[in-house]
Chains A and B, each alone.
Chain A
Amino acid sequence: MSKDRSLSFINRCRRSRSFVVGGAMTAFLLMCAIISLFWTPGSAYDITIANRFLPSSANHWLGTDQFGRDIASMLMTGTQNSIVVAVVAVSIGLFIGVSLGLLASAKRGWTEEIIMRLSDFSFAFPAILSAIMLTAILGPGGVNSILAIGLYNIPVFARLTRGTANSIWAREFVMAARASGKGRLRITFEHILPNILSIIIVQATILFAIAILAEAALSYLGLGTQPPEPSWGRMLNEAQTLMFLDPMQAIYPGLAIAIAVFGLNLLGDGLRDILDPRLSRKR
């Protein structure tokens, strides 16, 4: 790739406001997660009843909860959890779903029919309900909630991939590739995938946000990340009973979830604008 091409890509990134804002919010969360691996302002695990319900101060930036744990530290450590769950769950959906979608679109006929009917079938079950069902069967815990969310993502990616890939298969440059003697597998990787990648990336960022929400929801119900591992969803859950006593305890994790979801959605919007080839037409 030539140097000025990558330069123009950076310029386009700068021009999209939603990409910049969304990217900054996402980067902020990522940094929190990384920093929390080495350092947190207090301890997210130490239970010191004496320190319970402390207001925010230099020692405890956002105060402490009913067990005396440092809320800022719990939020930061919880970011790790959310990110891990979201990344793994979306990756499961991405790899399996995109592969199935590409396969359906390249083979057509019965293969496509079976893959699409199966994904229709899985759409019939509400996502969060099936996740609850699955964790109820497999037992609660981080890994199982990842699995549950990831499974739900597969048909979403499969449908999207197959739909957009089909429209690329109908283009003349694909016909030209076939006239060059290229097989369906090779065309899939050389022509189809690069042309649908931008749409998939955008969808991934949106599903990333949904996965974070889903993880929070499962943890809230006690089916996700298990104590003592801090999690945004469980923090919300625990704060629920103290709503009137210490409302900030519920607001902080709520804000964290909102920032993550909002930031990722903005990032997705921005990416869609940037990756749109029409914007790169003029130099």
Chain B
Amino acid sequence: MTTESNSVPVLEVHDLVRHYRLPRESLFAEPGHVFALNGVTFEIHKGKSFGIVGESGCGKSTLARNVMALEPTDSGSVKILGKEVVGLSFDQLRPLRQHFQMVFQDPYGSLDPHHNVGRIVAEPLAALGAISKAERESRVHDVLLSVGLKPQDVSKYPHEFSGGQRQRIAIARALITHPELIVADEPVSALDVSVQAQVLNLLKDLQDEFGVTYMFISHDLAVVEYLCDEVAVMYLGEIVEKGRTEDLFETPAHPYTRILLDAVPKPGSGQKRERIKLKGNVTGQTEQRVGCAFQDRCPMAQDVCREIKPPLSPVAKDHLAACHFSDSMTEKR
């Protein structure tokens, strides 16, 4: 695969903001807000896999829905193949949708139980407008083969498949329009380990075969490390660290990344290892704070962290972190 770092990125997200309004608690109280995305910026180049990791409530699923233009964005820009999609109407978006597709987490909930596989897989072709029946059938046939299902499966219904096979159906659906970008929101978290490996290998093979670009959302760092070229770590609606996978996992420059990596249990490593521990839970999605988003849980937090918000700035080539002390973080290792 040729690297085209100069060409237009497949996905460019710039300063994306999304706040949800909570229902009023009483008639006279100001309604609260959930600050789900607070200015997220990144870009993904063709044929690459970009991983987004973070714990529940960090805004990663909101990010997926906004990139997919499935809900209104408050401000910022999302460009797919150089075309702005924020602000377009649903009808204006339709012809663009063939370029970006999505795979969901729950292989049971993401397939309509009343539709057969052929109909499910062919669904995104709706965006292409008129298409002949023969063309549709041949595309379904091809795409089922490429995800490792049998073409005869078209007339079966989702309940006749296991979780892993259902996820293959979902991937086939995302592939059928030959999209440039596939947004995968926790596509393997609901699967058993032995089946998860099959699906991960399939995603890799499809990338090699079709040159598709992935935006891969997961809470599982090992899965992201396996699949992704680049990673962004999110915390409370912000990217706190971003870089090439090997750099970021070897020399994390943000304490949160370090703590996440340390918290992952490692099989065969014997009993507990030494590590930094994290106190408290992810909270504070409903308040906008001054200073660093991670200040309440950070073991290194100083006064400056409570006053000045650290910008996402370079610590090495292609490696950015939003921490006042990222230099000392990278030195420590």
In the complex, the answer to whether B113 meets A179 with C-beta atoms within 8 Å is: no
Binary A-proximity of B88-110 (CB < 8 A = 1, otherwise 0): 00110111011001101110011
Which of A180, A194, A277 is the one whose CB lies under 8 Å from B127?
A180
Per the CB 8 Å criterion, the residue count for chain B at the interface is 32
In the complex, the answer to whether A180 meets B110 with C-beta atoms within 8 Å is: no
- Chain A CB within 8 A of B246 CB: no
B83 CB, min distance to chain A CBs, angstroms: 15
Per the CB 8 Å criterion, the residue count for chain A at the interface is 23
- Chain A CB within 8 A of B70 CB: yes
Beta-carbon nearest neighbor of B105 in chain A: A172
In the complex, the answer to whether A175 meets B104 with C-beta atoms within 8 Å is: yes
In the complex, the answer to whether B155 meets A283 with C-beta atoms within 8 Å is: no
In the complex, the answer to whether A176 meets B114 with C-beta atoms within 8 Å is: no
**Cβ–Cβ < 8 Å partners of B95 in chain A:** 181
Measured CA separation A181–B89 after assembly (Å): 11
In the complex, the answer to whether B123 meets A180 with C-beta atoms within 8 Å is: yes
- Chain A CB within 8 A of B111 CB: yes
- Chain A CB within 8 A of B159 CB: yes
Centre residue among B97, B106, B123 by max chain A CB count within 10 A: B123
B119 CB, min distance to chain A CBs, angstroms: 9
Measured CA separation A47–B193 after assembly (Å): 81
B70 CB, min distance to chain A CBs, angstroms: 6
B93 CB, min distance to chain A CBs, angstroms: 7
In the complex, the answer to whether B127 meets A173 with C-beta atoms within 8 Å is: no
In the complex, the answer to whether B159 meets A191 with C-beta atoms within 8 Å is: no
**Cβ–Cβ < 8 Å partners of A280 in chain B:** 159
In the complex, the answer to whether A178 meets B112 with C-beta atoms within 8 Å is: no
B23 CB, min distance to chain A CBs, angstroms: 14
In the complex, the answer to whether B173 meets A176 with C-beta atoms within 8 Å is: yes
A188 CB, min distance to chain B CBs, angstroms: 13
Measured CA separation A181–B176 after assembly (Å): 14
Measured CA separation A176–B91 after assembly (Å): 16
- Chain B CB within 8 A of A55 CB: no
Chain A residues numbered 178-194 whose CB sits less than 8 Å from any CB in chain B: 178-183, 186, 190-191, 194
B149 CB, min distance to chain A CBs, angstroms: 17
9 A-B pairs with the lowest CB-CB distances in the bound complex, closest first? A181-B127, A181-B94, A172-B110, A181-B97, A180-B124, A194-B114, A172-B109, A173-B112, A172-B104
A residues adjacent to B (C-beta < 8 A): 2, 5, 171-173, 175-183, 186, 190-191, 194-195, 277, 280-281, 283
B residues adjacent to A (C-beta < 8 A): 65, 68, 70, 90-91, 93-95, 97-98, 101-102, 104-106, 109-115, 123-124, 126-127, 155, 157, 159-160, 170, 173
